[in-house]
Structure 1
């Protein structure tokens, strides 16, 4: 009897911590992306007894649920550029599926130093360029925009399937820096693309039995709550607020990758 009580207590404590992490991740992700930087490490820390692939598959369900809710919230107030959105999402879906397939065969420790350098450059550029995140005309043809959207959809989608954390922030950066979107529009489009990448990775992980539904479903509920509040706050506060939040999350991402590269 004592062993059963101990098991239930431990399971409840694990689930409670995971749900708190999922709520915070959903809130952050709805505003500027990067919620996986909190949710994924927390899951790996709280459930060390499970294989990494299983935990990566498990967090895809709350990530997908929260991102989908944020997408619906944005869709009510943001006008989407559908051709760009469709081309980027399709490319990202295919690439994410490929990344998830290769996750067990490629050592991502060689990728992280490159990402760290890119993130530092992004943080510096965003901080010193006060107009970054304010809608800018890029004088690009529709064909060029579609090609660019496909290109960064492939790259970021593959990254999401392979590694994951920070995908939303990278998508926002691409929409702002490459296509000239403002932060609100970039966040809205990024959410839809991120739904595609999460769904693709989940298809692979669930088909190979790498999902712990007893943890994933409760986490999804709390991630949805966080995403709803985050999207509502982002739409209320606008570009300036999102820009500041973006810098905070990018800085946190830098610290995370710096730890992985130099200390872990």
Structure 2
């Protein structure tokens, strides 16, 4: 039951559109959509809120990945192994979510986000052009490792996973921001699918609401991916920094207050 009726439902649709836009460019759509759902569904279990969020956002993520794949040379040699490992470990992380308190993670994630922001801000050429990867040999094993770590984090905790994925693909695989974002969409789709494999069979997805929000999430993803492709890595880098700054503010507030 949505608290607030039609007006709240309309705000949820707008939140879904904005979340799809942000997520398609630089990750972080959950920062918008999850709080909106928590406000609109105060009587639902947290698992239902998160499951409904995944049921909506997976469509926007899939649309963004498809649009990137049509317009740019998507780095499949990195994206596919990372996505496969992410699916398995995201499911595992979701299954273990009740076994350990998450509060101890917040200070660590806050420090990592600050390091990512500072590194990206002051290394001006970071992610502006594709570079040689910082490992030797094929991409499969490093991509599997990256997918496993990021997938487990997304399943177990989640916030900022998309931004960490983009940073990892730029820093360790030599991708520019545009191609890193495209690879991250493939991995995000995999982790969303894994999460739904956990939430849906247990009845923790409000499908009517999720599908209505999915329409607007797709519209936002279409606009975001179109702008990212048109304006390139510099645009994605700017949005990435803005999203990371918001993540730092949120984690700082949750950790210190």
- Judge same fold: TM > 0.5, yes or no: yes
Could you tell me which residue of structure 1 aligns to residue 131 of structure 2? 136
Conserved 8 A contact 1:57-1:201: yes
Is 2:222 the counterpart of 1:228?
yes
Larger Rg: 1
> Within 1, Cα distance between the matches of 2:25 and 2:64?
9
Aligned residue runs from structure 1 range 79-94, under 5 A: 79-94=73-88
Conserved 8 A contact 2:92-2:152: yes
* Shift in alpha-carbon separation, 1:152–1:47, aligned structure 2, 3 A: same
Output one character per residue of 1:227-262: Cα deviation in whole Å (capped at 9) or x when no partner: 000000000111111111110000001011111111
> Within 1, Cα distance between the matches of 2:78 and 2:132?
15
Is 2:90 the counterpart of 1:96?
yes
Conserved 8 A contact 1:57-1:202: yes
Aligned residue runs from structure 1 range 96-245, under 5 A: 96-134=90-128, 135-138=130-133, 140-143=135-138, 145-245=139-239
> Within 1, Cα distance between the matches of 2:27 and 2:182?
10
> Within 2, Cα distance between the matches of 1:69 and 1:19?
17
Larger deviation: 130-139 or 191-200?
Answer: 130-139
Output one character per residue of 1:113-154: Cα deviation in whole Å (capped at 9) or x when no partner: 1110000011111010001112221363343x3222111211
Conserved 8 A contact 1:58-1:213: yes
The total of aligned residue pairs comes to: 256
Is 2:28 the counterpart of 1:30?
no
Is 2:250 the counterpart of 1:256?
yes
Output one character per residue of 1:88-130: Cα deviation in whole Å (capped at 9) or x when no partner: 0110000111111122332211111111000001111101000
For residue 41 of structure 2, the aligned residue among 44, 47, 71 is 47
> Within 2, Cα distance between the matches of 1:158 and 1:18?
28
Output one character per residue of 1:160-184: Cα deviation in whole Å (capped at 9) or x when no partner: 1122232211110110011110011
Superposed CA RMSD in Å reads 1.6
> Within 2, Cα distance between the matches of 1:222 and 1:22?
6
Q: Secondary structure at the match of 1:108?
A: coil
* Shift in alpha-carbon separation, 1:51–1:127, aligned structure 2, 3 A: same
> Within 1, Cα distance between the matches of 2:151 and 2:249?
23
Conserved 8 A contact 2:135-2:172: no
> Within 2, Cα distance between the matches of 1:177 and 1:139?
8
Could you tell me which residue of structure 2 aligns to residue 20 of structure 1? 14
> Within 1, Cα distance between the matches of 2:134 and 2:47?
43
> Within 2, Cα distance between the matches of 1:240 and 1:73?
19
Conserved 8 A contact 1:97-1:158: yes
Output one character per residue of 1:188-234: Cα deviation in whole Å (capped at 9) or x when no partner: 11101110000000111001111111221111111000000000000
